Amino acid sequence: MPKLIPTVKLNNGQHMPSIGFGTWRSNESDAERSVKDAIDIGYRHIDTAFMYENEHEVGSAINAKLAEGVIKREDIFVVTKLAGVHHNPDIVEHACRTSLKNLNLSYIDQYLIHFPVGQEYVSDDNLSGPVSNVDYVDTWQAMEKLVDLGLVRGIGLSNFNSDQIQRVLDIARIKPVVNQVECHPGFNQKKLIEFCKRNNIVVTAYCPLARPKPAQQWPPFLYDGTAQKLAEKYGKTSAQICLRYLIQIGTIPIPKSVSKNRIAENYDVFDFKLTEEDIGIMDQYHNGLRTVTYSGLSQHKYFPFNTEF
């Protein structure tokens, strides 16, 4: 029996496991196999998105583990996201039902607006339509109806800045439970985390290891001498130190890997705690540089990354 990890209570009463398994850029057989491995290891929080084009494989893996009796539906916390092409309020429900069909589930635990900028809808197969001016506030009100219908348990945001979150909060009948953003020691999002904490919103950290490039020994917080010393001090890997850091500064990281050993390593971060001094050392890696820039959308009025946080 795998060891289960602590959960974080969300503002709607849901309990979200404090580390998740990411599936961005995991395609077809990789996605299905790695999600099965993750569930066997103990992960109970699985993150996907319509835009990743792997909901079907993620759902197959979850349903295989349900059929085997490894998990019950209430044990697993499934997150997926509304694509930019589905921002029009009239097609939000259609988009959600399509994701449910892909996943072969009767409800989604958490459904997020993937990015504040919408796109024109042509078809579900066309994910690269031109940008639209649909207001994400209108999209949010359509998301709230999904909760009313019982299709989703919680709704949230992804890649939203503090001003945009506030705009949603100002009109929300149902509050966002999370904001999923890029977050790692090189881009630690401490101001946004603090803003979200004040508003009882949890930050989920994607790219928690900043898409490493081992051949270039990058990023430094995985490869330099300081990172290696910290890893030795705790008898852990530098990746485990990073994930523990992100948990302790108040996020839920969702590392992604297709290697079973690495998937297990990323999960094994709950038997130690960094000291305040070592948190301070990790803070020094922050340089404010994103690895996921969405730069092609930077001129849009709803582009989120032109403000400080």
Please report the pLDDT score of residue 25 as a whole number. 80
Instruction: pLDDT band for 176, please (50, 70, 90 cuts).
Output: very high
Q: What is the pLDDT of residues 10-19, one digit of tens each?
A: 999 999 999 9
Name the average pLDDT for the chain: 96
Please report the pLDDT score of residue 26 as a whole number. 75
Tokens 């390593």 correspond to 265
- What phi, psi does 47 have (nearest 5°)? -115, 130
Please report the pLDDT score of residue 84 as a whole number. 97
Span 290-308, mean pLDDT? 95
CA 289 to chain centre: 19
Q: Which range has the worst mean pLDDT, 157-161, 212-216, 229-233? A: 212-216
Please report the pLDDT score of residue 305 as a whole number. 97
E-assigned strand segments in the chain: 7-9, 15-17, 21-22, 45-47, 77-82, 108-113, 152-158, 178-182, 202-206, 251-253
Q: Say whether pLDDT at 2 is over 90.
A: no
- Angle at alpha carbon of residue 273, lines to 200 and 16, rounded to 5°: 35
Please report the pLDDT score of residue 1 as a whole number. 67
How is the chain split into domains, by residue range? 7-211+250-258
Instruction: pLDDT band for 204, please (50, 70, 90 cuts).
Output: very high
Q: Can you give the pTM of this predicted structure?
A: 0.97
- Angle at alpha carbon of residue 112, lines to 195 and 255, rounded to 5°: 80
Q: What is the pLDDT of residues 103-144, one digit of tens each?
A: 999 999 999 999 999 999 999 999 988 999 999 999 999 999
Superfamily of chain region 7-211+250-258: NADP-dependent oxidoreductase domain (3.20.20.100)
Q: Which long-range contacts (CB under 8 A, 24 or more apart) does 97-102 make?
A: 97/151, 98/50, 98/124, 99/50, 99/55, 100/151, 102/50, 102/55, 102/56, 102/59
285 is known as an active-site residue: no
Please report the pLDDT score of residue 248 as a whole number. 98
And the tokens for 102?
A: 């892909």
Instruction: Spot the catalytic one: 43, 52, 136, 245.
Output: 52
Cis? peptide before 304, omega within 30° of 0: no
And the tokens for 152?
A: 């989703």
Instruction: pLDDT band for 4, please (50, 70, 90 cuts).
Output: confident
Please report the pLDDT score of residue 249 as a whole number. 98
Question: Would you say 303 and 124 are in contact if contact means Cβ atoms under 8 Å apart?
Answer: no
Cα torsion 3, 8, 9, 12: sign: negative
Nearest-angstrom CA–CA distance, 72 and 94: 27
